[in-house]
Amino acid sequence: MSNSRIENLRAILAADPQDTFARYALGLEYLSVNDVDSAKDMFEETNVLDPNYVAAYYQLGKTYEKLGEDEKARKVYEKGIYVAASQSDEHTKSELEQALSELM
């Protein structure tokens, strides 16, 4: 995999493993090259490092859907809705509710 953005993000994470934005961005890059398993790992790690990083819930749920893990996706969407609501992030909450609705 010779994607320079992936390599750059890996370097950022090597220097600062706690950088949740870089980890989330790396997950998006993995999705862009259809490396769904690596993307899932990055989004899961983002949620562990920063459970309030609401964008990761949407991407993790969609990634679980791609992997056929609908029950995990449902749980992630539900938790993300709760976190978004607790942050008064109506936009992300709405996106998560829509994703959950489409899943069911």
If you average pLDDT over every residue of the chain, what do you get? 95
pTM (2 decimals)? Answer: 0.92
**Residue 45 CA to its chain's centroid (Å):** 9
Sort 24 into a burial class: Cβ within 10 Å, 0-12 / 13-18 / 19+.
buried
- Cβ count near 7 (within 10 Å): 12
- Cβ count near 18 (within 10 Å): 9
For 22-32, write each residue's pLDDT tens digit: 999 999 999 99
Question: What does the DSSP 8-state code read for residue 52?
Answer: T
For 31-53, write each residue's pLDDT tens digit: 999 999 999 999 999 999 999 99
For 7-22, write each residue's pLDDT tens digit: 999 999 999 999 999 9
Would you say residue 93 has pLDDT above 90?
Answer: yes
